[in-house]
Structure 1
Amino acid sequence: MNELQSLSQIFQNKLFRIPDYQRGYAWQDSQLRDFWEDLINLQSDRNHYTGLLSMKVLSKDEAKKLDTDDKWLLDSGFRPYHIVDGQQRLTTFVILLNEIVEFIASLPENESKPDENIYLGYENLKDIKAKYICRKRPPEGFIITYLFGYENDNPSAEYLKHKIFGEKFGGTLKETYYTKNLLYAKRFFNKEITAFYEKGGMDGIAELYRKLTLRFMFNIHEIEDDYDVFVAFETMNNRGKRLTNLELLKNRLIYLTTLYDRSILDEINEAALREKINKAWKEVYYQLGRNENTPLSDDEFLRAHWIMYFSYSRKKGDDYIKFLLRKFSHKSIFMNFAENETPVEDDTIPVVVDDEDTDDPSDVQENEAVEMAPGFLAPKEIADYVNSLNETAEYWYYTYYPEECNTISKEEKVWIGRLNRIGIGYFRPLVAVSLIPSVGATAEERINFYKAVERFIFIDFRMAMYQSSYQSSEFYRNARKVYNNEMKLTEVAALLNEIADADAPSAIQVFVTKMNKRFISNDGFYSWRDLKYFLYEYEYSLVSQYKIEKLQWADLTKVVKDQVTVEHILPQTPTKAYWKNQFRQFTAEEIKTLSATLGNMLPLSQSINSRLQNDSFEEKKNRGYYNGSHSEIEVSKESDWDANKIYERGIKLLHFMEERWNFKFASQEQMEELLHISFVNDGRDIPPELIEEESSAEEIVVPSDISDDDLKLQFWTKALPVIVDAFGDNSTYSNVSPSTRSTLDGFVGIGGINLYCTMRLRKHTLSANIWIDVKNREKNKKIFDVMFARKDNIEKIVPYAIGWNRGVKRSSTVNVEIENVDFNDTGRWPELIDFLATTCVALKSELITACADELHAVIDGD
């Protein structure tokens, strides 16, 4: 049957259930907003085509499996249906209808009235509820049957009844990613209905209800047999929000249970296998949505489990789901594959492609192929696979949240936490396997394994900067071997240490070379992406001595506008007399290098405003060093801060690095090369102590009656030489003269891209910006996209809030802005000028270095 029907027609004597192979409610804000706007903007005399509603009437045997509370309604003439396609829209309809009913009932004038005396248009609320929401079994009304809902083994079933429809309940409801979406939809519509009522009153709500039930039209399609149901479900999932691969696979497995000959899988065992699948997916969805603030990825888990359960292949990013859909195919039940036949991929089934980076070509084995088991697929294979998914889900969750695992020691939790901080990468499947009880690893074996993983990551990825896929095939294969008890965790740890040992000398040299580039841009260690991790580990070594934890990782890594959590003890641009005296024997360039070296970096237990970094050493100690992190307390014990202290602390931290990650620098000279401050010990004469109080920049006096143009000119006259000097070249800003205008432009040598600073007196803001022309230079769009993809890294390098605006028609911009600036406060000018200089250099470096390949393509095209 194919015809257009309104919601009023669709709910005539029908009972709707979402079957077990369906996912939960996946609509979020954007879909809800589109739906609501379609409704409120629909003209009263027009119909709105809502889409396909595909459903299958249940057979008598299937109807017997319904909940006991449903059966009385079937005896009253209602027909039960499974929703095959369109459940997201139908769920949304029912939630919105329920919210309209609840809103009308809650109005002050209706509070004491029974539902039969409250009218919405020409219908009372009792009749509306009975038609669309639920019915009570007469005469007592103890049994409530909901006309739309989920099958009972779905966590969303009880949640829909009690949290969305408001039925009273005293038990505990399990929350998942999908139940959160249900609750969000309820709250979304409640808010919109309330606002709509304030504008249109009861007449507006009545018109809303009329359009919803009579003018939103579905194309009804009834499916006749099970085969069509599952095929339709797989091929129709492109509309709305595409199914995840995990959702698609569940449908496939349940479908396969219906295909076996009764001599192989009788009716009782079919029901048992189907229940096993449902329980496994219930567990998986619970674990993935267990942390309601940050649900875990369906597809990341499915891919990881595939790696540990089947032989790993790396031909394409979507190999894993194509493998699974071929492995669990109806062909494997109805026929055997020919001896040398290569299974044909079913391109009609959409899959979610894994966007993971391509693996290192040097690490690919030519003959590596997906392991396929041609021939008959026994029900036991499905059961074993499903049991494994069920078993693994909990331990996958603990790899993200080890503190919630009650079966591992505190030390194990600490090490898994380290792996998450440093970036666990492709080792997560192995870590999950290590936690599974059937693997039989001891706590000591796990700790040694975690230590080896963390050391390998630090040496090969954080120092050597190898591709993120380096050795991934080896350790993906090892995950399967350990899971199948073909390899011990101790063997994996030994292999990791062996590789790291061999790689360490070259890793150190690469680290030195990369740091050279960072010092050329004047950023030094501050732009090393793992500086905070390293400093946190040093801090943790002090915690083990003093037994008091004074610095939290979350505090160290949080990004707050104009706040810093890692301080340059010697400021980047020192202006106070104290600093000028302490470092008077060094050139401006040497002072920048001293500021950027490792020994001058200090993690703070509490973030500070960036302008406080110019305080003198005594002021910094009084501000909080003496009672801050253990690292701050250690530094606060120094009476003064000079170049020798920076050198000594840098060497001390490098010795810690050697001990912590078990490697050795080649020599003292190599360590000094890494720190870039060997000039500290060159025996130069120290000039007489300076006598001026503060730098001249802080002594600028601005007349109270100065005009805006003159103020701008004075600021840019002071700022421009510092910015030019920071770039140290002739390509940016050097051809621009100070002026009275509020915007000062500089060009970075790339067509259609400007790097500029903006001073807005009336708005009290100062900003460093990138402007990218995309109207006349289409290729420039790629540059913004590449920078935005590196957003997290850039925001680590630039310690200020960054505004990202991807333009489509004219231009894209990146803006780094300081607010609440009093430009008449000339004492703050050095800090503001330093902000412009360092931020512009960092932005230009990102444009040139981080996006090198894309920029070369653009330049060549120009």
Structure 2
Amino acid sequence: MNELEPLKSIFKDRIFKIPDYQRGYAWTTRQLRDFWEDLVNLPTDRFHYTGLLSLKKVDKNIWNNWNDERWLIEDRGFKPFHIVDGQQRLTTFVIFIQAISEQLKAIPENKDKKDEEIYLGSFSLKAIKEEYLVVEKPPQFIIKTYKFGYEVDNPSFKFLRHKIFLEPDSGTIQETFYTLNLENAKRFFKENLQNYFDKYGLSEIEALFKKVTQNMMFNVYEISDDFDVFVAFETMNNRGKKLSNLELLKNRLIYLTTLYDEKELKNDERISLREKINDAWKEVYYQLGRNKKNPLNDDDFLVAHWIMYFQYTREKGDDYIRFLLEQKFTPQNIYAKTEVRLSSIQEFEEVREDEDTDQEEVEANGEEEIIVMRSQLSPKEIEDYVNSLKSAAVHWYNTHNPVNNLDLTAQESLWIDRLNRIGIIYFRPLVTVAFLNKDINSDKRVELLKAIERFIFITFRLSRAFSTYRNSEFYRAARQLRNGELTINSIIQRLNDRMNYCFYTPENSEETYFDYTYFQKFIDKKFKSGGGFYYWNGLRYFLYEYEMEKVRQRGSQKIDWKLFVKSEKDKVSVEHIYPQTPTHKIWKDSFKGYKKSQLPFFQGSLGNLLPLSQSINSSLQNDCFEDKKSAKYNDKKEKIRQGYSDGSHSEIEVSGYDVWNSDTILDRGNKLLEFMEQRWDLKFEDDTAKAELLFLDFMLEEEEELRTTEE
């Protein structure tokens, strides 16, 4: 059958299921908005081509296990179908109709009415639900049969029934990457329908319902039994919202389980392997969607797992998915056979069960061996791979969400949070593997996390290495650690060795000092562009770490990292104490005697930059130092800025200075660099080196000249 049909015709005498090889609901607000605008703008006397709907009739041996649907099929002649292509659109239609039904129930005059007493034009709500959503089996009405849904083992199955269709008594419902989209779609339609009802009334809601069920046309195509449904799925779903690589891979692996012959993979093993694939993807999408405010990207996870599991290459582009789909998990690797030698009696007996198995007996060291032909890609390899994906998913989530995470120790949480704040670069696969490897205890993991954080700060934030510096080496280290080929200690040693270029040892000295040359050149460019240390991409992390050190000493955290790094127009969270536009006379007096060309070095020097507990309007930076130390109020006695004396620990420390001038900027800059030495285990050669890095060495030169003159 291949003809245009409206939803009203499509749902007549059909039951739809989304099969296990399908991805979940992937439409986001952009696609929903396009759907809504198409519907609203469609004239009532016009038809709109919606797209292709490809269906595969479900065999009796499958639907016979559908308890809730079987009575409709056997007693009322409904036909069961799997949706091969078009499930995103069909899911959207169904959610839209559910939202309309809830809109009808919410109208005040319909309060306390039964579904058969509520009408939308000539359609009762009961009839609408039975035609498109759910039918209850008489006479007990215990069984609720949904005309559209997922296979029962899909997490979206319960979510759709209980969160979207509002079936009560749900119990625990697992939420995933995809259920977030189902929830978002319903919220989108409910909000838009309510606004539409408020503006135009019930008659226009009826018009929308008629258009969605009668004017939106599908090209319905039923795939014949001999058509390769998995290949069709891969091909057809590359239209519309493109499948993610993780979604494609799941379909491919399920497809491969159908290709093994009975001699290599018995039917019960085939079913078990397919269930393991589904369980793995269920877990992966649960972990990716656990944090509703920040769902994780599925392809990022797949790339990282590929790095952990297979041999990393430095090819560009989608080399990982080409490897997975075009080299590793291919039909050719199942059709291509390789010789396997079996020698144990047990293995011999297993082979003998299939008398026609291709085999050959040979003599080896006085024992008989059986040579059998097996696929180059064994079912066991598929099982091991999907189990690894499943195991890695929770640790991948934990590396992104360490705060208040009961799966992590306090120290693990602290250091992973630091890595996320500084920018974890390319180390997330390695961190994930450190949790996957059961032989690694928490103390060793923390040692590794500390070493990675130090490496990132010194190598990338200070010494300005390219972001890809040594990435291949540490990607390989992730796999080697997973396989037991490397230890935590050897990786830590390697991290330290790769920082050797960041340090130097002067002649006739045993001490090693930090080589700040690269960092100084970087900051020099920032001064030339008018910002100095303020434009350093490690500034907020550094100042926050300094602040948190004070918190550990004194308690009472006063700076929230998320607010601290949040960009607000015309507001600042890091203040120039000596302002960039010093209009007050006191500032001119405080820096009298310095050249105009030297003043920007005081303004942009590290010691002049202060993290605030509350962001302020940038115009308030120009206040004099005494005014900044105390809270400031407007004419209405409303506080318009926090004072240093009751701000962050860093602010309180600065408020202890009597004046703010060149000496205090240098003094505070030295304190910050001393903290840097202690925190990241590095050392500057002397005070001159620190002054050079702070770009205030001209102060020492002037002091030396003055001292020489006096002598």
TM-score (ref. length: structure 2): 0.88
Q: Deviations over 1:142-162 (max 9, x none)?
A: 110100011111111111111
- CA-based RMSD of the aligned residues comes to 2.1
Q: Aligned partners of 1:423 and 1:512: how far apart in 2? A: 21
Which segments of 5 or more consecutive residues in structure 1 lack a partner in the other structure?
A: 339-373, 687-862
Partner of 1:464: 463
Q: Deviations over 1:186-222 (max 9, x none)?
A: 2222222233334543433333222222221111111
Q: Aligned partners of 1:640 and 1:608: how far apart in 2? A: 22
C-alpha distance 627-120 of structure 1, shift in aligned 2 (>3 A): closer
Q: Aligned partners of 2:95 and 2:379: how far apart in 1? A: 39
Letter in 2 for 1:504: F
Query: Helix, strand or coil: the match of 2:201?
Result: helix
Partner of 1:308: 308
Query: Helix, strand or coil: the match of 1:403?
Result: coil
Partner of 2:608: 600
Q: Aligned partners of 2:43 and 2:660: how far apart in 1? A: 74
Query: Helix, strand or coil: the match of 2:317?
Result: coil
Q: Deviations over 1:353-411 (max 9, x none)?
A: xxxxxxxxxxxxxxxxxxxxx96111111100000000000000111111243343212
Query: Helix, strand or coil: the match of 2:428?
Result: helix
Q: How much has 1:110 moved relative to structure 2?
A: 2.9
C-alpha distance 162-534 of structure 1, shift in aligned 2 (>3 A): same
Instruction: Please say if 1:416 is aligned against 2:416.
Output: yes
Instruction: Please say if 1:92 is aligned against 2:120.
Output: no
Letter in 2 for 1:111: K
Conserved? CA contact 1:288–1:296, under 8 Å: yes
Query: Helix, strand or coil: the match of 2:598?
Result: helix
Query: Helix, strand or coil: the match of 2:399?
Result: helix
Matches of residues 106-255 of structure 1 in structure 2 within 5 Å? Answer: 106-225=106-225, 228-255=228-255
Q: Aligned partners of 1:35 and 1:548: how far apart in 2? A: 50
Higher relative contact order, structure no. (Cα contacts within 8 Å, ≥ 6 residues apart): 2
Q: Aligned partners of 2:102 and 2:559: how far apart in 1? A: 48
Instruction: Please say if 1:557 is aligned against 2:530.
Output: no
Which moved further from structure 2: 461-470 or 13-22?
Answer: 461-470
From 568, 574, 579, the counterpart of 1:566: 574
Q: Could you tell me the percent identity over the aligned residues?
A: 53
Q: Deviations over 1:209-237 (max 9, x none)?
A: 22222221111111123762101110112
From 578, 582, 592, the counterpart of 2:590: 582
Letter in 2 for 1:329: T
Matches of residues 498-517 of structure 1 in structure 2 within 5 Å? Answer: 498-505=497-504, 508-517=516-525
Q: Aligned partners of 1:474 and 1:306: how far apart in 2? A: 15
Which segments of 5 or more consecutive residues in structure 2 lack a partner in the other structure?
A: 340-373, 505-513, 632-642
C-alpha distance 451-465 of structure 1, shift in aligned 2 (>3 A): same
Conserved? CA contact 1:550–1:605, under 8 Å: yes
C-alpha distance 65-615 of structure 1, shift in aligned 2 (>3 A): same
Conserved? CA contact 1:460–1:504, under 8 Å: no
Q: Deviations over 1:126-167 (max 9, x none)?
A: 222111111101101111010001111111111111111121
Conserved? CA contact 2:311–2:476, under 8 Å: yes
From 638, 658, 662, the counterpart of 1:643: 662
Instruction: Please say if 1:334 is aligned against 2:353.
Output: no
> How many pairs does the alignment contain?
649
Partner of 2:624: 616
From 639, 659, 662, the counterpart of 2:681: 662
Matches of residues 336-375 of structure 1 in structure 2 within 5 Å? Answer: 336=337
Q: How much has 1:336 moved relative to structure 2?
A: 4.2
Q: Aligned partners of 2:113 and 2:524: how far apart in 1? A: 78
From 530, 535, 540, the counterpart of 1:532: 540
Query: Helix, strand or coil: the match of 1:265?
Result: coil
Q: Aligned partners of 2:97 and 2:407: how far apart in 1? A: 46
Which moved further from structure 2: 554-563 or 153-162?
Answer: 554-563
Q: How much has 1:627 moved relative to structure 2?
A: 2.4
Conserved? CA contact 1:573–1:592, under 8 Å: no
Letter in 1 for 2:464: M
Conserved? CA contact 1:516–1:674, under 8 Å: no
Conserved? CA contact 1:453–1:496, under 8 Å: yes
Letter in 2 for 1:581: D
Q: Deviations over 1:591-633 (max 9, x none)?
A: 2211111111111122222222122222222232222222222
Q: How much has 1:667 moved relative to structure 2?
A: 4.5
Which moved further from structure 2: 29-38 or 189-198?
Answer: 189-198
Query: Helix, strand or coil: the match of 2:277?
Result: helix
C-alpha distance 217-521 of structure 1, shift in aligned 2 (>3 A): closer
Partner of 2:481: 482
Q: How much has 1:645 moved relative to structure 2?
A: 1.3
Matches of residues 445-460 of structure 1 in structure 2 within 5 Å? Answer: 445-460=444-459
Query: Helix, strand or coil: the match of 1:564?
Result: strand
Q: Aligned partners of 2:301 and 2:404: how far apart in 1? A: 18
Which moved further from structure 2: 529-538 or 546-555?
Answer: 546-555
Letter in 2 for 1:670: A
C-alpha distance 403-212 of structure 1, shift in aligned 2 (>3 A): same
Instruction: Please say if 1:385 is aligned against 2:385.
Output: yes
Partner of 2:74: 75
Partner of 1:742: none
Which moved further from structure 2: 391-400 or 634-643?
Answer: 634-643
Q: Aligned partners of 1:262 and 1:594: how far apart in 2? A: 78
Query: Helix, strand or coil: the match of 1:426?
Result: coil
Conserved? CA contact 1:95–1:164, under 8 Å: yes
TM-score (ref. length: structure 1): 0.73
Conserved? CA contact 2:99–2:190, under 8 Å: yes
Partner of 2:695: 676
Q: Aligned partners of 1:244 and 1:282: how far apart in 2? A: 15
Conserved? CA contact 1:459–1:507, under 8 Å: no
Q: Aligned partners of 1:445 and 1:9: how far apart in 2? A: 63
Conserved? CA contact 1:54–1:222, under 8 Å: yes
Query: Helix, strand or coil: the match of 1:179?
Result: helix
Matches of residues 737-776 of structure 1 in structure 2 within 5 Å? Answer: none
Q: Aligned partners of 1:504 and 1:421: how far apart in 2? A: 25
From 648, 654, 660, the counterpart of 1:629: 648
